[in-house]
Structure 1
């Protein structure tokens, strides 16, 4: 099966949202959106390319830093920023409902979000499960119980965090020494967030394969609500008018010294993780962020 270049998949769905999206008001942000239900992007992690986009310059460091922050179980926006992902400041300090939440510990606190849940998933009756450790250990031993799932989704804990997870579940699957990933996302901000989430899905599979000495094969990101905010429409049309540059030979370089969950927990920066070959792109577009 030949996989279409990830940017072409991304742009095709963006065009579909703009032309055929259902218009509705997003209650959290108070901004109208155009949305489509049920879209999937397929990533050939084995052969590449790493899923950057060329129709606008987009970050490559911060998506990796943010995902490593999830793997570490971070709960504070400043700690994410120290790794190289400053995006959590807005959710920590500008979301009205979170600012009014009595469990918020103060400036930059994000509460129980993403990896903080997955690394300490509550067990009924007491105790916790470290889902990341469980899956790394299983795959290393060539075990696949058809439930090798890291999930950040816990409705009983939503009131303890600044934001419900968007990319909420990573389902790894092993066939022989080949590792696959099916990732699930409830809400996809196509202009900003999806560009990050595609990179993170690729990163999750390639890095997990490295940690467990397996071969990364194919990852698929399934998105339920794919949307573009009304204050992004004009800028998205500008981006869609640009010709994609598909000659970039983008590759992910993993830090060879980060070989275990303990190494991830001890990580202080992401300098050893790099994306190479991202050399040709159109100018950046500053999309407004809907917090």
Structure 2
């Protein structure tokens, strides 16, 4: 198996991405082979960690393959909007979530529509999007509109005001930075069955040390090859945005994985990526500080120093 060795040069070996490649190698060489929900099969290990210092604008943007950071950013801004329908994503050319509603549509109607055709119809036809494009109460719904219920008497309940966890965290960081309760949680056990996919990156906890904001992201299930590059970017982006809004400098992103796996049909991607070495130091500049964390736009973010190696593709397990 092709396997990149960590270089002797201390500056090169300090690159955060070696943690990612070492984890990939460990899973591929020593992971427990198992049958998973998708039926494809994985090699998996449990309980993993990657750390990245976000000081100086540094971002954990994988360089040993191309990662479309604008796509990942558009997805994250969509989460913050609280939207759960793929229509807004498809309109921007973001197809990250299309496969789940497409699979349901094909199953329930027998129509073997193409992915491109399905996405185009979602954008063009609002009624079709409403019927087939919703993912259920996934990520953003839980982050900014966690459902509550209030008693109305006689043992009955009515829907109460939603809880905006993101807004509350920003406010609590400003008012009480030493708190241990700066948490955004996506794992709403009462609504898991209504979600197209239960949240994988489920818990974000923020921590203030001096003037720096750290974030610990816990991910219950992690597709290391296709998912984690986006998740690391998203976690770091969230940290940068919250830090700017709450008045702190970005500190460290600590990513922790539960079931961390590689799919067995990703062999070509894994072998190629493990033969490569990290390159460059991608940095993110945020052009402005909007009035609210919900007011950022894709044009506010600019990446420099990113010269990725060739794109690597592999099928997504639905």
Q: What TM-score comes out, normalization by structure 2 length?
A: 0.81
Gaps of 5+ in 2: 1-10, 110-128, 151-159
Q: Which of 261, 264, 286 matches 2:313? A: 286
CA contact (8 A) 1:169 1:183 kept: yes
Ranges in structure 1 where 5+ consecutive residues have no aligned partner: none
Matched, 1:123 2:133: no
- 1:219-239 CA-to-partner distances (Å, cap 9, x unmatched) read 101000110111102321122
Matched, 1:254 2:254: no
Matched residues in 2 for 1:283 and 1:208: separation?
32
Instruction: Flag the 1:35–1:143 CA change in 2: closer, same or farther, 3 A.
Output: same
1:14-33 equivalence runs, <5 A: 14-27=24-37, 29-33=38-42
8 A contact 1:119–1:129 mirrored in 2: yes
Question: How far apart, CA to CA, are the structure 2 residues paired with 1:153 and 1:195?
Answer: 21
Change (3 A) 1:13 1:65: same
Q: How far does residue 84 in structure 1 lie from its aligned partner after superposition?
A: 5.8
- Per the alignment, do residues 71 and 90 of structure 1 end up closer, same or farther by CA in structure 2, a change over 3 Å counting? same
Map 1:1-291 → 2, pairs under 5 A: 4-27=14-37, 29-47=38-56, 49-82=58-91, 85-95=94-104, 105-123=130-148, 125=150, 126-242=160-276, 244-246=277-279, 248-264=280-296, 267=297, 270-279=298-307, 281-291=308-318
Q: Is the 8 A contact 1:39 1:226 kept in 2?
A: yes
Cα distance, 1:99 vs. partner? 6.1
* 1:55-110 Cα distance to aligned partner (Å, 9 max, x none): 2222111111111111111211121234563211112322589969xxx9522211
Query: In 2, are the aligned partners of 1:235 and 1:285 still within 8 Å (CA)?
Result: yes
Report the 3-state secondary structure (helix = DSSP H, G, I; strand = E; otherwise coil) of the residue aligned with 1:106. helix
The change in CA–CA distance for 1:85 and 1:180 in structure 2 (over 3 A counts) is: same
Deviation at 1:5, TM superposition (A): 2.1
Tell me how far apart the structure 2 counterparts of residues 255 and 90 of structure 1 sit (CA, whole Å).
33
Using the alignment, how far apart are the partners of 1:198 and 1:13 within structure 2?
Answer: 14
More helix by share: 2
Once the two structures are overlaid, the 10-residue window that deviates more, 91-100 or 168-177, is: 91-100
Whether contact under 8 Å (1:178, 1:216) holds in the other structure is yes
The one-character-per-residue Cα deviations of 1:133-153 (angstroms, maximum 9, x if unpaired) are 111112123444311101111
SS at match of 1:41: strand
Q: How many residues end up aligned between the 2 structures?
A: 279
Q: Deviations over 1:1-31 (max 9, x none)?
A: x99422111000000001000000112x111
- The 1-side partners of 2:286 and 2:108 are apart by 37
Structure 1 stretches of 4+ with a deviation exceeding 4 A read 95-100
Q: Is the 8 A contact 2:58 2:283 kept in 1?
A: yes
* Contact kept? 2:284, 2:301, Cα under 8 Å: yes
